[in-house]
């Protein structure tokens, strides 16, 4: 199948609609019928403002989070439409990919 790999980047402490943004994004992708998503917590990173974000022993609020999903063009369009509705500003990477299974399940 042809589609896109979408990767969103945010921080653990960022919230939307009363929920951590990473969790909200995964739940919204699931509600829209996206086949799957993975959230990964990183130990360190920096963004456009060159501010270092990292997970500290006592405080994980600033921990970088990455949410990745492989999805069809239609699913991608629905997800971006939903993000526009919510007026969310997120940094993302969108790359064309081929995806599928190595054998029938």
Question: What is d(CA 11, CA 74) in angstroms, rounded to the nearest whole number?
Answer: 27
Neighbours of 12 (CB within 10 A): 19
Domains of the chain: 2-95 (3.30.70.120)
Average pLDDT over residues 50-54: 56
Asked whether residue 85 carries a pLDDT value surpassing 60, the answer given is yes
Please give the pLDDT value at position 47.
62
pTM for the whole structure: 0.82
Q: Average pLDDT for residues 21-46, to the nearest whole number?
A: 88
* 37 neighbors 5 (Cβ within 8 angstroms): no
- pLDDT, residue 103, reads 87
The pair of three-digit structure tokens given for residue 53, joined into one six-digit string = 């974000």
Q: What integer pLDDT is reported at residue 29 of this predicted model?
A: 96
pLDDT at 28: 95
């Amino acid at each position: 199948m042809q589609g896109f790999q979408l990767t969103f980047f945010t921080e653990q402490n960022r919230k939307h609609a009363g929920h951590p943004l990473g969790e909200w994004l995964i739940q919204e992708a699931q509600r829209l019928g996206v086949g799957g998503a993975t959230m990964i917590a990183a130990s360190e990173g920096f963004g456009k403002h060159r501010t270092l974000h990292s997970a500290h022993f006592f405080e994980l609020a600033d921990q970088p989070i990455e949410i990745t999903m492989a999805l069809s063009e239609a699913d991608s369009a629905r997800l971006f439409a939903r993000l526009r509705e919510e007026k969310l500003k997120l940094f993302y990477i969108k790359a064309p990919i081929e995806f599928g299974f190595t054998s029938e399940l």
